[in-house]
Structure 1
Amino acid sequence: MTGMKGFWNALPTEGRWLLSTVAIQTLGRGLTLPFTIIYLHEVRGFDLALSGTLMGVIAVTALLVTAPGGTLIDRYGARAVLLVGLTTMIAGCALLAYATHPAVAAVALVLMGVNFGVSWPGFNALVASVVDGELRQQYFGVNFALVNLGIGVGGIIGGFYVDVSDPATFTVIFLADAASALIPMALLLGPLRHVRTNGGSDDDESAPTASYRSILRRPVILWLTLITFVAMFIGYGQMEAGFPAFARQVSEVSTRVVGFSFAVNTAVIVLLQFTVLKLIAGHRRTRVMQVMTLVWAASWLILGATGLLPGSITAAIGVLAFMGVFAFGETMLQPTIPAMYNDLASDRNRGRVNAVNAAAFQGGAITGPIVAGLLLDQGWHAGYIATMVVGCGVIAVLAIALERRLPAAANGVPEPAAVE
């Protein structure tokens, strides 16, 4: 695998445009990501269970629009669908900034969920249409590092800026999140306006079928989707709800520590992602996921231990350590799953294959905040941590099952192998 300079030189112009603004456009997301549930619970006064459920509204909406979104991507292209999604994101963030009633917050989160539902398959389809081969896995990994750079810097700024006693500070960060969506919109209307992702009409009888039914009939897709769901449930489904709530209510750390923890997460990803990409190149992606589960299990045990010394410096250090170890696991997961889905897809069904991936992601994001809110609201702190650790073990078992069905090329191994 080449270095960063070689990777950049190998990218087509469209790929460079996509990567060059990632960190800036995700800065707004970083401002709000660690603090949305804190905003709903501590600023607007909604109880913790309701706040967790409201956070799940984003994922419920995203799940509902993901399937039709994937179909529209295959029919009309990712660019058009992404522009619609970004418009709803701007409206949702602006509305949430002034939401003082749960119903208003719910509407805002629905609008944001529309964008999340179409942006995952849309962006992945856009990337896959621009890069292929080994460059694709590298791209997903580098892009992930840049996304986290923007989110991490935003988390630091947000941690210093927001004040639970001053609702106006939260209004500002949500409006900034809305403004950040204008950057990808400008790219899609300008330099990327000619990028094509759709493979033609479904009425083209000479092309193979691209229906969801045919996609989901493939056992390898089903196993990969199940892994994605569990990984999202115990991973990213907890980053906006379970982790901040545990850190505040159980570990009793400040919002500043929560913000800094996201910065630690970012630092680990940015510093290690390219190194990890070099280490995993040529290795089975399913084996990489098994290593990742051990790392994630360790991170959740670290977080659980912080509850033994609430409000202490040790607890604060533990919260930061949790995010650092968790981030190391992320550097193994994020380049592999999107690459596997897109290596199993064709240009004809890429939008829908990525929509299946997104649906699993949103499914985990739906159940994650709800389960976290219920467990923590009932004071079942140890049970919450245990649930996360057991989930890591489930992923390891599923990865072993997937390996027997996954084609060698899709598993990151160049040698040919029989499919299933």
Structure 2
Amino acid sequence: MSGAGQPGGRPGAGFHGLMAALLASSAGIGLVFPLTSIYISDQLGLGGTGAGSYFVAMAAAGCAAAVLGGPRADRGSAAAVGAVGTTSLVLSYALLGAAGGSLPVTAAGLLAGVGYGLQYAAITGVVTALVPAAAQRRAFVLRHVMTNAGMGLGATGGGLLLAAGRPAGTLPWLYEAAAAASVPLAVLFLLVHRRRPAAPAIPDAVPDPQSYRTLLRSRPIALLMLAQALFATAGFTQIEATVPLLLHHGMGIGLAGVSAVTAGNALVLLLLQHPVARRLEALAEEAALIAAPLLWCAAFGAGALATATDGAARTALLAAFAALFAIGEIAYSSAFFPLLVRFSGPASLGRGSALSSLAWSTGTAVGPPLGIAVVTATGTGTGWLALAAGAAVVLAVTLLLRHAAR
């Protein structure tokens, strides 16, 4: 398995194997991702309290694991940290599928949090180790696409399997399938760890890692973390939580139509990842990051216009929403992680990734209830405009980041 990549600046077999394993793992997680709260509360009979304890345990363990895993990844063990994290995910889903009470459910939540926290702290460093610097922006786009495409494929497959069988008998096996699907990713992390390059001949030439506090004193890093939290709050969580409510409840679009918008977003990600990423490489990373919230403002604006139309015009505007949001996602993934690598420095990338994980977790916790509350209070058309205003706040922070980076 190759390390830094092939001659000519292209990623090697190690990176492509990792991406294939990430796709399989994401598809397995997608099988059950939308169903966990229902499974715990209804099928296991633990109610909302049981489901809540799972997610609280997962959030707390994820934050702690990211903070503890970051320094370990900085000591040259990013792939090992990723392997431990993925193994924890395997155990989590296997345990949840066999769970019968509140204690194993809470334990599964703790294992899942450890898994996600360690994975996030590790994977950016692993990608940079496997991919030459010239190809890293496209590599991060591909990582984003593999994760999202896998989740979408898994959710579709899980829905079809549940429709074809009895949910009570099928759901536990879906969790076992999710556990099995992450085993190849754990193996790939271990292979990368065992075949990592030798340590530098002159250790003094490698800068000392920075502490979390030192990193956050850097204005570019602090603004990048703020941007990450806002990207999650105002963008990624809104398309998952708030936009479906606007489409279904506010605009009277059926569940099939909501699914079609989501599928359109995933299709654009798959089809346009290479051409869009290639064009973005002509821009500085700071400028490419600015493009993401700018495109999201336009996407949410298209959604607002769709509320005033019907028929083919509404369909076209919603298709524009899905496409513009997807292109914004590509801009984000091609710029954010290279900026994280640059601002953190190679010696502190694990800590920088851990801070990024904490910022992302904060955004995913705040985003859905905030978006739903705003939409409930304002109505459909104004709700779309409120989402556009949120994207405008992200845009303002990315503009400040560009100025600080200069």
Normalised TM-score (structure 2): 0.80
Partner Cα distance (2:54, 2:251) in 1: 23
- Cα separation, partners in 2 of 1:339 and 1:208, compared to 1, 3 Å: same
Q: Give 2:345's aligned residue.
A: 346
What displacement does 1:307 show? 8.2
> Residues 304-331 of structure 1, C-alpha deviation per residue, up to 9 Å, x if partnerless?
788899xx99999987765443222111
Correspondence for 2:3: none
Task: After TM superposition, list the pairs within 5 Å mapping 1:98-113 onto structure 2.
Answer: 105-113=105-113
Aligned to 1:146: 146
Mind listing any 5+ residue stretches in structure 2 that lack a counterpart? 1-5
Q: Please list, as runs of the form range in 1=range in 2, the aligned pairs for 1:297-316 lying within 5 A after superposition.
A: 297-301=297-301
Alignment CA distance shift 1:264-1:206 (3 Å): closer
Cα distance, 1:72 vs. partner? Answer: 1.6
33-42 vs 366-375, greater mean Cα deviation: 33-42
* Matching of residues 157-236 of structure 1 within 5 Å: 157-163=157-163, 166-190=167-191, 192-195=193-196, 207-236=207-236
Say which SS state the counterpart of residue 235 (structure 1) adopts.
helix
| Correspondence for 1:271 | 271
Corresponding letter in the other structure for 2:196: V
Displacement of 1:44: 7.0
1:62 Cα deviation after fit: 1.9
CA distance in 2, matches of 1:146, 1:209: 30
SS at match of 1:344: helix
User: CA shift at 1:268, angstroms?
Assistant: 0.6
Q: 5+ residue gaps in structure 1?
A: 1-5, 408-420
Query: Retained in 2: the 8 A contact 1:156–1:260?
Result: no
Return the alpha-carbon distance in structure 1 between the equivalents of residues 170 and 323 of structure 2. 27
What's the counterpart of residue 85 of structure 2? 85
2:398 alignment partner in structure 1 = 399
Q: Sort the Cα spacing of 1:42 and 1:156 in 2 relative to 1 into closer, same or farther, 3 A.
A: same
Q: What is aligned with 2:292?
A: 292
What residue number does 2:23 align with? 23
Preserved contact between residue 36 and residue 240 of structure 1 (Cα < 8 Å): no
Q: What secondary structure sits across from 2:346 in the alignment?
A: coil
Count of residues in Structure 1 that have an aligned counterpart in Structure 2 = 398
> 3-state DSSP class of the match of 2:347?
coil
Superposition deviation, residue 76 in structure 1: 5.5
Distance 1:249 1:304, change over 3 A: same
CA distance in 2, matches of 1:197, 1:243: 48
Compare 250-259 and 351-360 and name the one that shifted more.
Answer: 250-259
Report deviation, 1:338.
0.3
Q: Distance in 2 between matches of 1:267 and 1:398?
A: 29
From the superposition, tell whether residues 380 and 342 of structure 1 become closer, same or farther in structure 2 (CA, over 3 Å). same
**Partners of 1:82 and 1:253 in 2: CA distance:** 41
Deviations 1:279-337 (A, max 9, x none): 1112133333333223223434555788899xx99999987765443222111111110
C-alpha contact 1:77 1:197 (8 A) present in aligned 2: no
Structure 1 residue 346 displacement after superposition: 2.8
What is the alpha-carbon distance in structure 2 between the residues aligned to residue 387 and residue 46 of structure 1? 36
The one-letter amino acid of 2:387's match is M
Residue 267 of structure 1: CA displacement? 1.1
Relative distance call for 1:290 and 1:177 in structure 2 (3 A) is same
Matched residue of 1:210: which SS?
Answer: coil
Contact 1:265 1:327 in 2 (8 A): yes
Percent of aligned pairs with the same residue? 22
Q: Is the 8 A contact 1:74 1:349 kept in 2?
A: yes
Residue deviations 1:19-39 (CA, integer Å, cap 9, x gap): 343333322123234444565
Secondary structure in 2 matching 1:162: helix
1:53 and 1:317 map into 2 onto residues whose CA distance is 42
Question: 2:394 aligns to what SS in structure 1?
Answer: helix
Residue 389 (1) aligns with residue 373 (2): no
From the superposition, tell whether residues 62 and 139 of structure 1 become closer, same or farther in structure 2 (CA, over 3 Å): same
Q: CA deviation at 1:241?
A: 4.2
Q: 1:12 to 1:234 in 2, by over 3 A?
A: same
SS in structure 2 of the partner of residue 10 of structure 1: coil
Cα 1:165–1:52 shift into 2, 3 Å: farther
**Shift of residue 244 of structure 1?**
5.2
Match of 1:3 in 2: none
* Equivalence for 1:410: none
Contact residue 89 and residue 111 of structure 1 kept, 8 A: yes
Q: What does residue 332 of structure 1 align with? A: 331
